Structure 1
Amino acid sequence: MSETMAEEKYKFEQNFSFTPLLNKTPSFLQNKASLELLMKWSMLGRISVQYYSFDQSFYPYNSRNFALMFFKDPQVVSHLKKMTAGAWVPLDSPLLCVDVEVVPCSRVSMDLLDPIYYCRQILSPSGNVVKCFHDLYPDYDELRRALQEEESEHYDVIGREERGEFLFRIFKHLCLGGELCQYEDTIAPYAQLTKLIYKDLISVQKDPQSMGISVVSTVLKVCAQDETGSCYPGRGDEEQTFAYLIVDPFKRHVCLFYHCYGVGSFTL
């Protein structure tokens, strides 16, 4: 879609303005134990979060317009970086359109992962991840196999609906890691950091009558394009290169959670 077409499509819709919240940092990027895990998984220095405030009411039906306005806002563009040769550099061409996928986000507990814990073909009774043979990867296991190979006999342990949830996506991203990932022998580190990241990024509210907790955030998986095609969060089709917008409609805050696959930093 050309820039002109994109502007024509949305000219009668809301125009959002965004302001960077430069002093806001998620706790998982300040916690030494979390940073050490990200370094071990070859994600340190390649995974990050940016926070912004915005000036109008957000409605989920307007998600695509919101994402387009976000990536065309000068305050946002001036802070966006892409990974080139292992270094974050400014974008060098204007963004013309944005692919947007609305990501289900309803879970308020980690019980989504219970089927994995109960599957003895994935986790042994001692809690260790079961190793397995793979033609390409010498250090492979049944957890990664169940997460990404549909032909795995354990792929259906997690249902299709659950796999779409943002909580599960974070867990999967961490389990697969970066290019030089040193994989864990147990599931606990993946689950613990998943919980911390999810808690950092998602906003919830309590119903005063039922006292139940529900998610109020809207999560959008985004991919921005310039005149040559996909350019942010990266070029090419790599599952571990991702970007999500997480919108809090009440605070009018949005965070950009992103990762570019490759070799992570070796120092904190």
Structure 2
Amino acid sequence: MALGGAEGDGPAEERAGTFTLLSDDDSASASGNSDPAATSLTRDGYVKTNLTKWDLLRGTTYRKFRYDKFYHKQDAESFVRDFLNSEDVRRELLPEAGSEDVAEVCSFSAKPVKAVTTTMAFFDRLQQAGGVVRPNGQIVKCMDDYFEGFHVQDRLREVLLNEDNEFELDHGEVFTADEKAEFLYKIFRHLAVGGSLCQFEDVLDPYLEVSKLVYKELLTVWRNPRTAKPEVASGVYEIDQVKFRRRDGGGEEEELFPEHSAQNWLYVSTDPFRRTCKAWLHRFKHHW
């Protein structure tokens, strides 16, 4: 599928595309939703409350853009290159930078993210496994430990952060490597791990509920007329290792994520029918 048109529209255009910031009113009009707050990741009350509780809101930037050319769904490099080189994107996403401050984006890495899951039954195995979440939804506790700099005091976070955890060594993997590549899993993992001042949940439901709301907000789903089944139409891209130079920076390169953390991320998802995209950026912040 081409991003910005239906499948079969032909090859992507050769010219560079431009991405223009959408206001909340523009976003609501583009989505057909008359309530801008209902379409905004950081203005939905329930989502915002939980992102704050999990210490993710203060590092989050969420913006919507309209783009003006066709891209093939798997052509992550062209899409992301044009995205990062657009003035509105630089101004909104690069740290403390107006569009006129950034001379160039020097380098980046980008890859498509698999997004085919359309049901939250994907997470049923957490309770079926028994040792991660109890049948009543309570998350099983474990001995306190630290992995990747994060405090772990329950089996869920242990499974999400420690690939060599004892539970999976004894009972087999809860999620396969292919399933961990799913966008829905990545969202869930980010939310459940949280930030440096995360107030953990004792039950699973809040993580699932917010994951579902975020997933629905970021993706466009349509019903395929050939199969009569719902399918994800959006392309999703994971962007990392972004380096840029400022005009007055003496030629030195800066990084979008100067400190390594599993809780740094930049995802961009597209609505190919409306030629709009949504960027969800989180820059991990230490508590000190």
Assess same fold via TM > 0.5. yes
Q: Give matches, 1:1-268, under 5 Å.
A: 13-23=14-24, 24=27, 26-82=39-95, 89-90=96-97, 93=102, 94-136=104-146, 140-155=153-168, 156-223=173-240, 224-226=242-244, 231-232=255-256, 234-262=257-285
> Matched residue of 1:134: which SS?
strand
Distance in 1, matches of 2:109 and 2:152, equals 35
Letter in 1 for 2:22: L
In structure 2, the CA distance between the partners of 1:62 and 1:143, relative to structure 1 (3 Å rule), is same
> Matched residue of 1:184: which SS?
coil
Distance in 2, matches of 1:124 and 1:62, equals 42
Contact 1:14/1:65 (<8 A) preserved: no
RMSD of aligned alpha carbons: 2.1
Shift of residue 80, structure 1, vs aligned partner: 2.2
Shift of residue 32, structure 1, vs aligned partner: 1.8
Letter in 2 for 1:64: E
Distance in 2, matches of 1:213 and 1:169, equals 21
Letter in 2 for 1:217: S
Structure 1 moving runs of 4+ over 4 Å? 227-230
Deviations 1:206-265 (A, max 9, x none): 022431000111111002212656612x2122110110111222211111111111268x
Contact 2:61/2:93 (<8 A) preserved: no
Report how many aligned residue pairs link the two structures.
246
Shift of residue 196, structure 1, vs aligned partner: 0.2
Letter in 1 for 2:262: E
Contact 1:59/1:249 (<8 A) preserved: no
Deviations 1:89-117 (A, max 9, x none): 22654321221021111111112111112
Letter in 2 for 1:206: R
Contact 1:116/1:158 (<8 A) preserved: no
TM-score for the superposition, normalised by structure 1: 0.85
**Identity between Structure 1 and Structure 2 (%):** 26
In structure 2, the CA distance between the partners of 1:138 and 1:21, relative to structure 1 (3 Å rule), is closer
Distance in 1, matches of 2:64 and 2:41, equals 14
Distance in 2, matches of 1:226 and 1:209, equals 44
TM-score for the superposition, normalised by structure 2: 0.79
Deviations 1:120-175 (A, max 9, x none): 11112322111101344776110001111111144411111110000000000000
Deviations 1:175-203 (A, max 9, x none): 00011000000010000000000000001
> Matched residue of 1:34: which SS?
helix
Contact 1:107/1:167 (<8 A) preserved: yes
Shift of residue 81, structure 1, vs aligned partner: 3.8
Distance in 2, matches of 1:226 and 1:58, equals 24
Letter in 2 for 1:46: G
